[in-house]
Structure 1
Amino acid sequence: MPFLPRLLVTPAALGLLAPLAATAPAHAAEPNLEGVNHYASQEQVTGISQFSDVQPTSWAYQALSNLIERYGCVAGYPDGTYKGQRAMTRFEAAALLNACLDRVTEVTDELKRLMAEFEKELAVLKGRVDGLQAKVGELEASEFSTTTKLSGQATLVLGGAGNTGFGDNLTANYDLQLSVDTSFTRKDLLRTTLRAGNFGNAVFGNGNTALGISYGEEDSANSVFIDRLFYQFPIGENLTATVGANVAQDDIVLWPTAYPVDMGLDIFNYAGAQATYNKNQGAGVGLQWQKQGWAFSLAYVSDLGAASDSTLGAGDDFILTAQGTYSGENWGGAIAYTYADWDPFELFPTAASNNVAVSGYWQPLQAGWAPSISAGLGWSDIDRRNIDEAWSWMVGLTWEDVFIKGNSLGMALGSVGVQERGKCGTVGACSNSLWIDGGDGNDNLAYELWYNWQVTDTIAVTPAFFYIENTGADDTVGGMLKTTFSF
C-alpha cells in the first residue's frame, strides 16, 4: 500500500495524530496558526529518545520511531517533549503530513534517478532472473525425485602388461558405476550403487595386487550387482554414524592422502599401507567424530565373500579399524590400526593380522612448480606360517595445472613386497600371489607415471605407464589409456 494511504488508515502509524478529531472542539472555526507555525518551524528530531514524554510502553512508540528514523519528518517542542496526548487541529496535522510527504518525495525522486541510471543493468538482471526461473521450472518438472540424485561414472581402459612389453597381455575393459544418493533431512545420506564391468579376467584385474587397478571390479563379470548400500546420518553436531548391508572401510574411514585414488595401479591407493587400509566390503557399522580439522573414526566391516565361500570358514571374517587424523588448510596426517580376522593380503584366508599405518600429505595453496606430496608407511603382523611381519610404503607426487589449466601430472613409487615362497615365478602366471616386503628380506619396487587430460568437465583421458621390479622373477612393464565419463 502507498505510504500516504497507509499513514491515514493505520492506527499504529497515526500515533501522533490520534487525538486530532476526537478531542478537538467542534466549534473551533479559527485555526491556531501560531501553533502551526511554531510546530512547523522546529528542527526535526533524529531519534525518539529525544522525547522525554514518549515511553517504550506507549502503543504508538514503534510507529513514531519509524517516522523519525526512516523519514525524519517529526518535530518536537522546545522543552524536549512531543505532547502526544494533546489534541491537534487539522491545520497542525496538515503541516505534519506536508513535512512527511516532502521527505517521501525526496526518497522517490532519488529512487527514480537511480533506476534511470541503472536501467540497462536492471533490465539484464531481470532477464537473467526470468531465465533462471524458467530453468528451475523445467528441472522441477523433469526430476524424478526432490530428495534423490543420480550420478554415474563409466571407465574404459585399453592397455597391456607383461615381462617384456605391453603386447604380452593386451586387454580392453570397462567399469560402470551408477550411484543413487537420497537425503531425507538434507543432513543424511542413503547411497545405493549399482556396478558392472569385465575386469575379472583381465591382466589388470586377475587377483594380482601388483597389477590391479583401482577403478576395475574383479568380480563383476559383465553382471550388474549392488556395490554399495549404506545409510549415514548425524548424531548431534559433530558425530556421524554409518550403517549398511554392503559398506566398505573407506565409506567410513577417510584415507589421508592427496594422491588421486583412481589414476593407476591399485597398490598406490592405500596411503602406503595396503593392509591397514583395504577394500574389504560387507555388512558394517561405523562412527566418525569431526571438529576443527580433527577426526576420529571407528569402523567394523564384515567380509562380504565369507558367507558364500566355504573355504573361509563360518563366514564371520571381519576387520576393525580405528583412526585419528588432522587435516589443516593444505596438509594432514593420520595414524590408524586395523585388526583383521582374515589376511588382508588374501593369501591366507584363515590367518589373523594386526596392521598399523602412519601417513600424511602436503599440498601447495596454489598450483605451481611445487607438487603435492603424499607418503605413508604400513606394518603388518600376520599370524601364519613363515611370515611374521610385512612392510609397505609409498610416496606420491602430483602437479596441478600442467601445460593446460585443469590437467594434472603424477608419479608414485613404493614397495610392493615379495612373493611368498613356493607360489609362482612370474607376474603373468601368478594367481593369488602375495606382494609384501619382508618375506625373505628383499624388496620389490613399483613405479608409475600418468597424465590426466581433462577434455571437458565430464570427460577425462589418462595415459599411464608403470614398471615393477620383481625379486626372483622377471620385471613387469605395462601401460594403459583410460577414458572416464562422469555424469
Structure 2
Amino acid sequence: HAADLNINDISDYADSVDVEEQVTSITQFSDVYPTDWAYQALASLIERYGCVAGYPNGTFRGNRAMTRYEAAALLNACLDRITEVTDELRRLIKEFERELAIIRGRVDGLEARVGELEATQFSTTTKLSGLANFVLGGTKAKGDNFRSVKGGVGERDRYNSSWGAFTLSYDLRLGLKTSFTGKDLLFTRLRAGNMGRTSTWTGGGVLMNTLNTAAPGENVLRVDRLYYRFPLGSNVTIQAGPLTRNTEMLGYKPSVYAKGGQTVLDFFGGSLGVPGVWNKETGGGFGAIYSNKNNVSKGDPYWTVAANYVADSGEASDGNPTTGGFMTDNSEANVTSQIAYGNKQWGLALGYRYGQCGARFRTSTEFAAFDAYGTPCAVVTGVDADGEDLFERTDASSNSFSFNAFWRPDESGWMPSISAGLGQSYLNGNSTWDEYTSKRAMGSWMVGLTWNDVFLESNALGYAVGQPQFVYDDEDFVADGGYAMELWYKFQVTDNISVTPSVYWLSRPWGDFTQNYKGDYKSLGVFGGVIQTVFKF
C-alpha cells in the first residue's frame, strides 16, 4: 500500500548503504548505547561481518519499524559479506585438503577408541593403580658364636642355619581409588605376597631385619586397606574404616628420606626412626586432620594437626570383649596424634601415641621385644589345682613421643636432603606388671641422607644410620642399643620400572641378650644384601 511507503526513509537508507563500509565500530552510532538490549548482538554483526549500516546522519534508529526494502538492503549487504567469507574458506579447504583428511582420519580413530574404552571401562568412578616389587637377597650373621643354651649350637650358627638362605620374594599391591563427589575418597587396597612369618624380610630371625616392603605370605590376595575419607569444610578431613592405618591419618609426613628413591629397612622407611609413635598400626578406626594449607600462599609453610584412634584389625572385629572388641579394654588400641609445621622443603613435627596392652612398638632389639613388644594384658602368675595356668591382668600401657625434622635443597646437587627422628617410650602397669618386668623406658633415633639425580636424572642415592627401639636405664644407658645402617642406589630404568640394590648392617640386633651373656661383652651382628625391582602401573 502506498500509505506504508516513506520515500524519504528509503532514500536515506539507500544513501547509507553506499557508505556501509565506513561503519566499522558500533561507537559510530550516536543513538546506540551499551545499555540497549541488542547492543552486543549489533556489535558482533559490525565487528565480525561488517554488514550493518546506518543513516547518513550517524544514527541507527534501532527502535523504528523496518520496511521490506530496508530488510532486503540489509540482507543483501550481509549475504555479500558471507559469500566473501565462504569463498575464502573454500580456498583454504582446497589448499589444506590433504592435511584435513589426515586430521579427519585421526579424529575418527580417536572416536572409535573412546567408544571402545567407554564400552569396556572398569568404572566411571574408580581408578586402579598397582605396584609389584621383586625382592632378591639374603642375610648372614657375623661375629661371636657364643652359646646361649648349654651344649647347644652357637647363636651365629643358629641364625645362619635358620635364616641365612638366599631368597626371591614378591610384594604385590593393587589400589582402587573411588570418588563419588570429586573431593571424597573410598580407598581399597588388595595385597599379596610370599613372605609372611617364614621370611627373613618380615622380621624372621631378628626384628630389625624387617623390610619396608615386608609383605604377607601364602600367595593369598587379601584386602589390607579399606577406608573412606571426606572433607569437612575447607580445612578439615575425616577418615574412617575397618582397615585404616594410624600413620596414614596424620596429614603430614615429616621426612623426605628416600623420596625419589627406594627405602630398605622398615625402621628407616615407614617408621621414620621412631617406631614407638609411627608403629603403622592397621585396623578399625577413625581420625581427623586439620590443615591451613589452603589459607597460605603456595609454597609457604602451614600447620597440620591430626589425631586418630585405631584398634588392631584382629581385635576390632572380635565379638568377645575379654579378647578383643572395638573401643574396649582389650582392643590393642592406639591413640596417635601429631602437630606439624612446614612445607615441601622443610618441616618439623611432634608426635604422641598412647598404646593399650598389646599395642606394638614395631622394630626393636630382641631384648626390647622379649616382654615389652606387645605389652601383655595378662601374665601367668601361677597354676591352679588342676595344673592350669593362672592369669592376672597387668593394666599395661605405653606412652610414646617423637620429634622429626627434615630439610632438602632447592635443586639436586652434592648437598643431600636430611631427615632425622628421635623417639622415646615409657611403659606403665599395675603391681602385677611391676613384678613381671623391670623394663620401663625405650628410645630410638635415626638420620637419613638422600641425593637425587645422581649420575643420571631420576636416579637416587641414600644412606641412613640409627638405633631402633632399645631399652635404656640410668646405670647403662645404651646397654641394649644396637646400630642399624643402610646404603642403596636406585636405577630408574623406565618411567615405570626401577632397580635398587642395597646393603645393610645390624650391629648387635639381639641387644642386651648379647651384652649380658655370662657377664661378658659379645659382638654378633647381621649383614644383609637386597635387590628390589619395582614395577608401577
Normalising by the residue count of structure 2, what TM-score does the alignment of the two structures yield?
A: 0.72
- After superposition, where does 1:53-452 map in structure 2 within 5 Å? 56=35, 58=37, 60-77=38-55, 80-88=58-66, 92-101=70-79, 103-105=81-83, 107-108=85-86, 125-164=103-142, 169-170=164-165, 171-199=167-195, 200-206=197-203, 208-217=206-215, 220-253=217-250, 254-260=252-258, 263-269=263-269, 270-292=271-293, 293-306=302-315, 315-342=330-357, 343-345=359-361, 346-350=373-377, 351-383=396-428, 385-418=437-470, 440=478, 443-452=481-490
Is 44-53 or 193-202 further displaced after alignment? 44-53
Structure 1 position 272, deviation (Å): 2.2
Structure 1 position 394, deviation (Å): 1.5
| Contact persistence 2:29–2:60 (CA under 8 A) | no
What letter matches 2:336 in structure 1?
T
**Change in CA separation of 1:24 and 1:175 when aligned onto 2, cut-off 3 Å:** farther
| Contact persistence 1:160–1:167 (CA under 8 A) | no
What letter matches 2:536 in structure 1?
S
**Change in CA separation of 1:386 and 1:106 when aligned onto 2, cut-off 3 Å:** farther
| Contact persistence 1:273–1:377 (CA under 8 A) | yes
Structure 1 position 465, deviation (Å): 0.4
| Contact persistence 1:24–1:89 (CA under 8 A) | no
Per-residue CA deviations over 1:321-343 (Å, capped at 9, x if unaligned) read 22223342433332222222245
Structure 1 position 482, deviation (Å): 1.9
Is 154-163 or 105-114 further displaced after alignment? 105-114
Note the aligned Cα RMSD (angstroms): 3.6
Matched-pair identity in %: 43
Partner-residue secondary structure (3-state), 1:251: helix
Structure 1 position 389, deviation (Å): 2.7
Structure 1 position 102, deviation (Å): 5.0
| Contact persistence 1:180–1:192 (CA under 8 A) | yes
Distance 1:118 1:368 in 2: 50
The aligned counterpart of 1:431 is none
Partner-residue secondary structure (3-state), 2:308: strand
Is 60-69 or 202-211 further displaced after alignment? 60-69
What letter matches 2:493 in structure 1?
V
Structure 1 position 474, deviation (Å): 0.7
Structure 1 position 284, deviation (Å): 0.3
Structure 1 position 135, deviation (Å): 2.6
Distance 1:246 1:329 in 2: 28
Distance 1:128 1:250 in 2: 48
Per-residue CA deviations over 1:374-405 (Å, capped at 9, x if unaligned) read 22222222226433332222122222233333
Normalising by the residue count of structure 1, what TM-score does the alignment of the two structures yield?
A: 0.79
| Contact persistence 2:496–2:536 (CA under 8 A) | yes
Distance 2:133 2:464 in 1: 22
| Contact persistence 1:290–1:296 (CA under 8 A) | yes
Per-residue CA deviations over 1:178-215 (Å, capped at 9, x if unaligned) read 33332222322222223232321122213643110111
Distance 1:83 1:224 in 2: 79
| Contact persistence 2:202–2:210 (CA under 8 A) | yes
| Contact persistence 2:273–2:468 (CA under 8 A) | no
**Change in CA separation of 1:382 and 1:98 when aligned onto 2, cut-off 3 Å:** same
Paired residues, number: 447
- Segments of structure 2 that go 5 or more residues without pairing to the other structure are 144-158, 294-301, 362-372, 378-395, 430-436, 516-522
Partner-residue secondary structure (3-state), 1:133: helix
What letter matches 2:266 in structure 1?
D
Distance 2:410 2:112 in 1: 39
What letter matches 1:146 in structure 2?
T
Per-residue CA deviations over 1:84-112 (Å, capped at 9, x if unaligned) read 24455555445444544454456556656
Structure 1 position 49, deviation (Å): 8.7
The aligned counterpart of 1:17 is none
| Contact persistence 1:275–1:378 (CA under 8 A) | yes
- Segments of structure 1 that go 5 or more residues without pairing to the other structure are 1-22, 422-437
What letter matches 1:182 in structure 2?
T
Distance 1:419 1:276 in 2: 16
